[in-house]
Amino acid sequence: MRTFSSIIVVLMLVCVACEEDVLTFPTPNPAQVRIVNTTQDVGVLSVLIDRTSTVDVNRGTASNEVTTSAGRPVSFVLKEGTTDLRRDTLYYTLGGDARVILFTYGSKNGLVEFRRAIQDTTLDAASDPVIRFTHMAESTDQFSTLEVWITGGPRLLSEDFDYGLSSTSYQSIAPGTYSFEVREYGTTNVGATISNVTLERGKSYMLYVYDTEPPTPDRIALSIF
C-alpha cells in the first residue's frame, strides 16, 4: 500500500508540474496599417493584407487605415490588377495597437516594395496637431535634398531631407489653415506646393513628395494625409 501511495503522489506532482509549464500569452490588440502609393508608374496599387483584406491605392495617395493582426508575421502581396508586382510576399510583424504607415516605391517594370515603415501616433483630442514629412520623389537632381517651409512664413522643419528619409519626430503646430512648400536645399527654389491645408486639434499629419507621372527629373508633387 505504501508503494502504491507513493506512485499516486509522484503522478500528482508530475501533473502539477505539467500544468505549471503551460504558458498562456494574451492576444495583442489589432494593428492599423496605412499604405501610400509613391511608386513610379503603378496607377492603382492593390495590396492584399494577411490574405483577408485588399486595399486599392491610387498613385500619389494614401489609403485609409486597415485593421490587421498583431504579434505574428502578416503577409503583404503587391499587385496591379491581377498582376503580381513581386515574386515573393512581404511580411511584417506589427505590435499591438500599432499604427504604421508603409510607403511603396519602385516600378512595375522592375521592383515594387515598401521603402519605409513609419510609426504613426495618437493624440489627445485637445492637443495641437503634429506634422511630419517624408521625401519619396525618386527622380530628382536639383531637388534631391529638400527643406520644408510654411509658404510666406518660417521654415516648418529644421531637418534636411534626402530621398527616402522621414522626419525623426513629429513637429507640433498651431491649429489653422496653411500652405506648405518644399525647396531645394539652401535656396529659395520651390519644387512643389500644397495650399489651404486645415490642421485640426488632436490629429497627426504626414506631408510627402513624390514624382509626377510620368516621372520626370525634378517634377515633383506635394501631398498630405
pLDDT given for residue 10 in this prediction: 40
The DSSP bridge pattern shows strands 99-106 and 73-80 to be: unpaired
**Ordered structural domains, the chain, with CATH:** 28-120 (2.60.40), 123-225 (2.60.40.1120)
pLDDT given for residue 7 in this prediction: 35
Give the pLDDT band of residue 213 (cuts 50, 70, 90).
confident
pLDDT tens for each residue of 214-225: 899 999 999 999
Q: Apex CA 188: angle with CA 184 and CA 189, to 5°?
A: 50
CA 156/CA 190 separation, integer angstroms: 14
Following DSSP, what letter does each residue of the chain receive, concatenated? Answer: -HHHHHHHHHHHHHHHHHHHT---PPPPPPEEEEEEE--SS-SEEEEEETTTEEEEEETT-BPPPEEE--SSEEEEEEEETTEES-SS-EEEE--TT-EEEEEEEE-TTS-EEEEEEEE-----TTSPPEEEEEEE--S-STTSEEEEEETTS-BS-SS-EETT-B-SSPEE--SEEEEEEEEETTS--EEEEEEEEEE-TT-EEEEEEEE-SS--TT-EEEEE-
110 within 8 A of 131, measured Cβ to Cβ:
no
pLDDT tens for each residue of 169-199: 999 999 999 999 999 999 999 999 999 999 9
Average model confidence (pLDDT) across the chain:
91
pLDDT tens for each residue of 115-164: 878 999 999 999 999 999 999 999 999 999 999 999 999 999 999 999 99
User: Which of 222, 213, 175 is closest to 195 using CA atoms?
Assistant: 222
pLDDT given for residue 25 in this prediction: 72
Neighbours of 77 (CB within 10 A): 17
pLDDT given for residue 19 in this prediction: 53
